[in-house]
Structures are given as structure tokens and as C-alpha cells.
Amino acid sequence: MGISFDAPISGIQAAMFSQDVTANNVANVNTPGFEQSLPYQTDIATGGTRVSNLAKTPNPDKNTSNTDLVEQTKEQKINGAAVQADVAVIRTQDKMMGTLLDMFA
């Protein structure tokens, strides 16, 4: 079994994409008629995750944005925690590879 960084890297990429979507939603909080976007992630069969769909939340009020700042703040925190977790996985895998190489050196 080889050490692969594919799963944590895909997780970081998905979290960063989600963070970009959240930033766009927040930037448009005062844009009349703006419809916030919601990214949906799915698992990759070989390991990892990806953003599979980007859906817009319908906004019946064309005079205001339907961006919920509380929800967007929560999403930003979740995305940050996901990146931290994936970085921890990469560090652990790197440490394991170093230990394995030290055993054979």
C-alpha cells in the first residue's frame, strides 16, 4: 500500500472552492436580487472529495440579497477546519514516509 496525498489534496481543493463561493456570497450581501450559491461535495470513488454541484438559492425578493451572513460565517469556519484537517493528514503521511525511509537507511 503506497502513501497517497490525493485524498487530502482533493479535500483542500474542495474546501478552497467552497470558501471562494462563500466569499462571493458575502461580497454580494448588499446586491439587490442576488441569489446565494451553495456548493455540494461528493466522494470520489478512488478516495477524496470534489465539488459536484453549485446550486443557487432562489430569491423571491429582487430588492435585497438572500445571503445569510450567519450561515456564511459558519461555512467559512467549516471550510477552514476542513483545510486544517487535510493538512494534518498530509503532515502525518509525510512523517510516516520519513519513518519508513529511516527504517531502511
Q: Categorize the per-residue pLDDT at 17 as very low, low, confident or very high, splitting at 50, 70 and 90.
A: very high
Helix (H, G, I), strand (E, B) or coil at 43: strand
Extents of the domains making up the chain: 6-99
What does pTM read for this prediction? 0.84
What pLDDT is attached to residue 4?
A: 79
Is residue 59 within 8 A of residue 44, CB to CB? The reply is no
pLDDT in tens, 59-105: 999 999 999 999 999 999 999 999 999 999 999 988 988 887 888 86
| Longest Cα–Cα distance in the chain | 68
Is residue 33 within 8 A of residue 59, CB to CB? The reply is yes
What phi, psi does 74 have (nearest 5°)?
Answer: -60, -45
| 2 has pLDDT over 70 | no
What pLDDT is attached to residue 67?
A: 95
Distance CA(11)–CA(87), nearest Å, equals 9
| 33 has pLDDT over 70 | yes
Which grid cell sits at 52? 459536484
